[in-house]
Structure 1
């Protein structure tokens, strides 16, 4: 199977800068002992990134960046957005940046980024610009940890611990650790509650997470390196694409038929489509009607943004449990 060069508004999600840079160190690592100490050096997809002073304004690329910044207590600094591909802002944001201009619905160019006037970029990475181009304009680019290697293997898979560490990393950058600590306490408590709600005697089954990036795109799936794999595992499922060393990958109906998972999760909403629209697209695939999950009515939908490397993945975990009946009252 080959990996797909898709930009997920998984932002999510989801969710790259140094795309091609292999390996991400612990995202919370920073040279400063506490928030507010500048210059500050953080890990940015395996490279050291020094931030000279506290950033006051942000341009985001992808909705995962918005969710992470909101949890970190810094979403009120977002003045411009991009890379959302028509997806809605995540639900439940403390400070939704609804007034921030969308400078480009897809991958922003250097000109669009510079023109936005932000001090710093936070997002899934650059596809129509480079770090050097932005640095020449005095703009820093931070890549969210779960997108450090967008279509290739990360050194470590993204799980909930990595997402929470990314919130801490961003809070250090923006000097908002108190707000982040409070939000993380809530998120960790919710995650613990959800894990404890899974029946201990639940039989492990197989599942796949599939999606379409646009109405004309081919079928894609979630591999073993992303948060969707961690969600399936915690819910008691083995990801049939879990051995694939990537977050996002090209799939096809043939590989899905060969694996024949018990449950199929369709990640929808990536370009504004409803679950019914995404499911109809999937069922139009030749041979889809032969899948056990289709025959047994085990095709469920979860918002793509809730299966991204950001705090909304906790909501995605709940959605998977509820949709598959794997949550005890």
Structure 2
């Protein structure tokens, strides 16, 4: 998943450089120029024919939906069929797909993207524009007058020569990185007031959770994604560490089960059964990634495999989905995790 391994401490991603009239809560005066991952993009008007690349993400399409921009979407390739937001699945299902055929690939092929004639293409990460994978490059799209955007926290992901700042933004992503993308979209689409309101609301919800659990004991929590076992060399469920994942746990009044054993974002693919069997797991955070997953059954399977976990002994787990990644639904995931970890606090 592009964006799956985004993050690693508590520093927000650097703010994108914007030239033009884009004052917080105000209105956008075009032309608006944005420096996005080292690519200068100039918007002469609000985009109206937007294509959202798959990127195995829903963060970008959800941001547009929550800002009331569904009418600008020409084709959306982002859809899990599951969400921590109660209305999101139905809203994403209702969007046009452009009838693209990805032919077994994870992304829209270049020829089909060109044929759609968008004025803006949005990807989760720089890898969404990789021509070696049959995708259109940002340079090719620029030659056709098509603007492109990448979530600023994920500039380094899939980029051949990322800057030091872009690497830090990726490894140190937090929920503030999610808010940065919301603000960027608000600037580009002249939805600054809506973006500011959304960020204010989500930040207030997260702060309320953190205040409710302040001073309480911090259970050990482990974030796993069973349906991503194909990403792990051992075939085990994917385990998420560092960055926004650690930030979510901290804001929910928990701490990571694998803290202190030398594992982080870069080494998470090397986690083995021995690491998990020796981990202190008071709460299992099990992440859904596909429609119709039986997460209850997946939790039971893990508890059977690791009966030594305290979470297995108490059957203590919580199911989340899109809210654990950089995106606009972090508040929902944090609320769910906190309520499972500290039921008496809510």
2:43 is aligned to: 52
- Whether the aligned pair in 1 keeps the contact of 2:43 and 2:147 (CA below 8 Å) is no
1:172-192 deviations in whole A, cap 9, x for unaligned? 111111222232232232222
- Alignment equivalent of 2:194, drawn from 179, 185, 209: 179
CA distance in 1 between counterparts of 2:219 and 2:312 reads 15
CA 1:122–1:165 in 2, change beyond 3 Å: closer, same or farther? same
Task: Confirm or deny: 8 A CA contact 2:82 2:89 kept in the other structure.
Answer: no
Query: Does structure 2 retain, via aligned residues, the 8 Å contact 1:207–1:238?
Result: yes
C-alpha spacing 1:256/1:49, structure 2 compared with 1 (3 Å) = farther
Q: Report the secondary structure of 2:318's partner residue.
A: strand
Q: Which residue is equivalent to 2:284?
A: 264
Alignment of 1:83-94 (within 5 A): 83-84=78-79, 86-88=80-82, 91-93=86-88
Q: Hey, what does 1:170 align to over in structure 2?
A: 185
CA shift at 1:275, angstroms?
1.4
Alignment-derived partner of residue 221 in structure 1: 239
More moved, 274-283 vs 90-99: 90-99
* 1:274 match: 294
In the alignment, structure 1 segments of 5+ residues that lack a partner are: 1-5, 17-22
* Residue matched to 2:225: 211
Q: Which has more helix, going by share of residues?
A: 2
- Say yes or no: does 1:316 pair with 2:316: no
Other structure's SS at 1:295 match: helix
Residues 204 and 236 in structure 1, CA contact (< 8 A), matched pair in contact too: yes
| 2:136 pairs with 1:117 | no
Distance 1:133 1:216, change over 3 A: same
Q: CA deviation at 1:267?
A: 0.7
Equivalent pairs counted in the alignment come to 306
Structure 2 CA distance for aligned equivalents of residues 26 and 104 of structure 1: 35
Query: For the structure 1 residues 272 and 108, does the alpha-carbon distance in structure 2 shift closer, same or farther, using more than 3 Å as the test?
Result: farther
Report the equivalent of 2:143: 136
Displacement of 1:82 = 1.2
Q: Could you tell me which of 254, 260, 265 is aligned with 1:237?
A: 254
Q: Which runs of 5+ in 2 are unaligned?
A: none
1:31 aligns with 2:19: yes
- The offset of 1:307, in angstroms, is 1.1
Q: Distance in 1 between matches of 2:291 and 2:270?
A: 18
Q: Which has the larger radius of gyration?
A: 2
1:305 matched to 2:322? The reply is: yes
Per-residue Cα deviation, 1:204-228 (whole angstroms, up to 9, x for no partner):
2322211134575532122212x22
5 Å-filtered alignment, 1:71-82, equals 71-82=66-77
Compute the RMSD of aligned alpha carbons. Answer: 3.3
- State how far apart, in whole Å, the 2-side matches of 1:180 and 1:146 are: 17
Q: 1:293 to 1:283 in 2, by over 3 A?
A: closer
Relative to the length of structure 2, the TM-score reads 0.75
**How far 1:317 sits from its partner (Å)?**
0.6
Asked if the contact 1:224–1:241 (Cα under 8 Å) also holds between the matched residues in 2, the reply is: no
Given the superposition, is the C-alpha separation of residues 263 and 322 from structure 1 closer, same or farther in structure 2, using an over 3 Å criterion? same
